Amino acid sequence: MLLAASYYFYMCWKVEYILLIILSTVVDYIASRRMATLEDNGQRKRWLYLSLFTNLGILFGFKYFNFVGDNINALFDRFNVFYDVPAFEYLLPVGISFYTFQTLSYTIDVYQRKIEPEKHFGLFALYVSFFPQLVAGPIERPSRLLPQFHKEQVFSYENVTKGLRLMLWGFFLKLVVADRLAPIVDAIYNNPEQYAGLEVALGTVFFCFQIFGDFAGYSSIAIGAAKVMGYDLMENFRRPYFAASIREFWQRWHISLSTWFRDYVYIPLGGNRVVKWRWYYNLFITFLVSGIWHGANWTFVVWGALHGFYLVFAIWMKPYFDKLDASTGMDKRPGVMHLWRVFTTFILAAFAWIFFRANSLSDAFTLIGNLFRPSASDSGLLSSINGVEPMEIILGFSAIALMEMIHFFDETKRFESPLFHTNTGIRWGTMVFLITVILTFGVFTSSEFIYFQF
């Protein structure tokens, strides 16, 4: 029944694309079963390659073919070669990057004999297409999710209420935070020539929280929906803007993807158990691939490369930073030091988000150039963005403040999380408050989740 629901969920978007999921499922099911029975490594590898070729082939065909074609065409034009790689006009299957990675992790794990292949075709198909996390993650591992499908689920009051509260938090992040900030960010990023200075900074800071609200909101709804049905999905976000380094940021942001890249790209490349230059290379390549995973556009490639550079630079400079801290006496003030690090990490992540959000590389460079120029508008920051009322910006800041206040409670652990508080009054008060805020201040005419496009 869950499988039927999952297929129906996907078909609501575009019926024929369900065939892609079915194709991946059938190929991986057969490949994994064959890999388990074969002893010869060469033959097993062939089945693995079949699975990789099928899944990555579909992903490449739908997501990257036109991007590669466009770049080849541009290159040909440069050298006056008159040949056009044809472009295909079709819609990108929603969530293709997510379910492809989920099913890839299964075949690779079976190949590496980390798990036994699933015998039940229906349960395996459900693992590939489980509807709460099908279109935008979290990208689950077979060792976590498949055993749960074998257990019989019974109604659990605790699971249902916990799941519903997680969903409530997700709706707050999406409808009150992300969708409130979206029109302001769009106004600035869709007209990069028009804005400068604080306006670009405002748009960028708002985008940091928009993308967090959007993606963490979806993850929370997905985890909550699964929890209601009795399934545990992995945590995907852990207050990333409280991170004190870029390394820590990636331990808190899109955890299911960063651990996937760690296990299936970074470690196979050699991880950190190699010579230093190779370690830097491994890190950089992992983040570069992560950038490409996010989208077929040079903006995502630069975004990934920038994060790779941040990490390599931080490792390379660590001894010098430590010396600097000791000489200035900052190492004796851990609180101030921590705050400073959180702030600089946020600035670095925000800077990288400019590439992620900009419509093209030239737009991104225009925005960065304008960031350091004073604004041309003399009407003040709140009134300077076309089509945006000052009150909308104030509401945007209020939504961020409310979200970060609740994050602060969770982060410091000085207080219990109000949504899961043991005191009934606080718990109910928070729920009533959040539902009322969502219903009355939520944006209900907005578009879909940003991460569905990846």
Partner 1 sequence: MKSLTTLIWKGILLIAIVWVCCNILRWSMGMPFGWTNNFFHAKAELFEQAKGEYNTVFLGNSRFHRGVDPSVYDATMSRLLPEQKTKSFNYAVASAPAGEVYNLFNRLLDEQRSLQLKDIIIQLPSIKTAVGRQFQKTNLHKPRNVEWCDFSSYLFAMRSAWGLKGSKYSFRNKWKYSFNYTVALIENWFAIGMIKDMVLNKAEGLDLSKGGPNQDGYFPLALDDRKVIKSKHRAFLRNNKTAAKRANLSRRFFTKASPEEMKPHLNSSYLAYLVGMIDRAKSEGIQLTFIVPPCMNEFSYNELAAIYHALPKEHVLELTNADNYPFLYDPENMWDPGHLNTEGGRIFSEVLAYRIAEQKSNKNLLSEEKLLAYGTPKSNSKQKGKQSKADTVSKKEKKALANYLKNARAFKNKGNCLKASKFAEKALEVSPDNFKATFLTASCAQLMNKMDKATEFAELALERANTKEQRTKADAFIKSLN
CB of 432 to partner 1, least distance (A): 5
For residues 256 and 245, what is the distance between their CA atoms, to the nearest angstrom? 19
Long-range contacts of 335-341 (CB under 8 A, 24+ apart): 338/244, 341/244, 341/245
CB of 443 to partner 1, least distance (A): 7
Centre a 10 Å sphere on the Cβ of residue 13 and count the other Cβ atoms it contains.
15
Task: Decide if residue 389 touches partner 1 (CB under 8 A).
Answer: yes
120 is catalytic: no
327 Rama sector, left if φ>0, alpha if ψ -120 to 50, beta otherwise: alpha
Which CB, 83 or 157, lies closer to partner 1? 157
Nearest partner of 256 among 3, 49, 451, 27, judged by Cα:
451
For residues 282 and 288, what is the distance between their CA atoms, to the nearest angstrom? 10
Which CB, 314 or 395, lies closer to partner 1? 395
For residues 277 and 6, what is the distance between their CA atoms, to the nearest angstrom? 45
Per annotation, catalytic residue among 254, 294, 338, 421: 294
Task: Decide if residue 68 touches partner 1 (CB under 8 A).
Answer: no
Which CB, 317 or 394, lies closer to partner 1? 394
Looking at 240-248, 273-281, 329-337, 432-440, which segment touches partner 1 (CB under 8 A)? Answer: 432-440
Which CB, 234 or 395, lies closer to partner 1? 395
CA atoms within 13 A of residue 448's CA, in its CB half-sphere: 9
List the one residue from 70, 186, 263, 392 that touches partner 1 (CB under 8 A): 392
For residues 165 and 170, what is the distance between their CA atoms, to the nearest angstrom? 9
Task: Decide if residue 442 touches partner 1 (CB under 8 A).
Answer: yes
Task: Decide if residue 379 touches partner 1 (CB under 8 A).
Answer: no
Task: Decide if residue 431 touches partner 1 (CB under 8 A).
Answer: yes
Site for partner 1 in 76-115 (CB under 8 A): 89
List the one residue from 366, 390, 407, 453 that touches partner 1 (CB under 8 A): 390
CB of 315 to partner 1, least distance (A): 45
* Total of chain residues touching partner 1, rule CB under 8 A: 25
195's CB contacts (< 8 A; 6+ apart) are 188, 203, 367, 370, 375, 384, 385
List the one residue from 83, 391, 422, 425 that touches partner 1 (CB under 8 A): 391
CA atoms within 13 A of residue 276's CA, in its CB half-sphere: 4
CB of 228 to partner 1, least distance (A): 11
Do 217 and 399 contact (CB within 8 A), yes or no?
A: no
Site for partner 1 in 141-160 (CB under 8 A): 155-158, 160
Structural tokens at position 33 = 């079963």
Which residues are part of the catalytic machinery?
A: 294
Q: Which residues bind partner 1 (CB under 8 A)?
A: 89, 155-158, 160-161, 180, 389-392, 395, 428, 431-432, 435-436, 439-445
